[in-house]
């Protein structure tokens, strides 16, 4: 099937010019597997995107952490997909749970965002995931299927989408979904693709895991059949991000 391992680093709302220089120099000096083995994308805040893009080694791509749902215009404080494309930023993260929770982005709104970003030539890391309450109520698959369906309803091609499963209860909490829990949801999402989109989309779409991924747990997670990579938060700001990228070699 040949799904290339994908590692994304989401820097979130962190960093100063000095911090960014340090992270970039660490990544530039790191020994990484070849681009045949792993695709690596880092996502700095908007204000650092162009700096990081110009100073980072060419085999690591950049992503924005968000973009507006339609064409730019009178939307103060927003950044449009057209602007990102114009800057040569290839990727954007959409539907992150922090935006869903703090800014009330609905499943439908996220679906619209994904469709618009794709229409402007961007590739998308689309995030889904359940809260602790939803997991304890046994509705995990229902929740992530509904989030995925809202995207599927708006797009016809999944070639430029990576789906990131991020259990909300594991983001930044130090709690990690066990490799078995992660595999179960990833397999469930792949089955959903097979039953609702096509066997081809199920086989080729990369489903990556996010939620307290670290240098110490990445290899075991990477060994799961349906885990095609990671979306890394806090650890992507540290040298251990290199170790997480190297987990691609487990495959």
Give the residue numbers annotated as catalytic, written as ranges.
Answer: 96, 166
Q: What Å distances lie between residue 195 and 2, 150, 191, CA to CA?
A: 21, 15, 6
CB 30 within 8 A of CB 242: yes
CA distances from 121 to 3, 9, 85, 94, 186 (A): 21, 21, 7, 15, 26
Cβ–Cβ contacts within 10 Å for residue 214, how many? 18
Interatomic CA distance for residues 100 and 206, integer angstroms: 22
Long-range contacts, 73-80 (Cβ 8 Å, 24+): 79/46
């Amino acid at each position: 099937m040949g799904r290339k391992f994908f590692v994304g680093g989401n820097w979130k709302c962190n960093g100063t010019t000095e911090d960014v220089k340090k992270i970039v120099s660490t990544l530039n000096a790191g020994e990484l597997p070849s681009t045949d083995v792993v695709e690596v994308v880092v996502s700095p805040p908007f204000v650092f995107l162009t700096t990081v893009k110009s100073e980072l080694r060419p085999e690591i791509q950049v992503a924005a952490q968000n973009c507006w749902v339609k064409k730019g215009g009178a939307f103060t404080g927003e950044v449009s997909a057209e602007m990102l494309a114009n800057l040569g930023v290839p990727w954007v993260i959409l539907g992150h749970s922090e935006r869903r929770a703090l800014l009330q982005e609905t499943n439908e709104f996220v679906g619209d965002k994904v469709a618009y970003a794709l229409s402007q030539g961007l590739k998308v890391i689309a995030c889904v995931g359940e809260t602790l309450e939803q997991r304890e109520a046994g509705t995990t698959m229902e929740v992530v299927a509904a989030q995925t369906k809202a995207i599927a309803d708006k797009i016809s091609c999944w070639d430029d989408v990576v789906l990131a499963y991020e259990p909300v209860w594991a983001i930044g909490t130090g709690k990690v979904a066990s490799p078995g829990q992660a595999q179960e949801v990833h397999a469930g999402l792949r089955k959903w693709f097979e039953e609702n989109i096509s066997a081809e989309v199920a086989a080729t779409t990369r489903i990556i895991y996010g939620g307290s991924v670290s240098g110490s747990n990445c290899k075991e997670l990477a060994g799961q059949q349906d885990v095609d990579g990671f979306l890394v938060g806090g650890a992507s700001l540290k040298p251990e991000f290199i170790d997480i990228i190297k987990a691609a070699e487990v495959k």
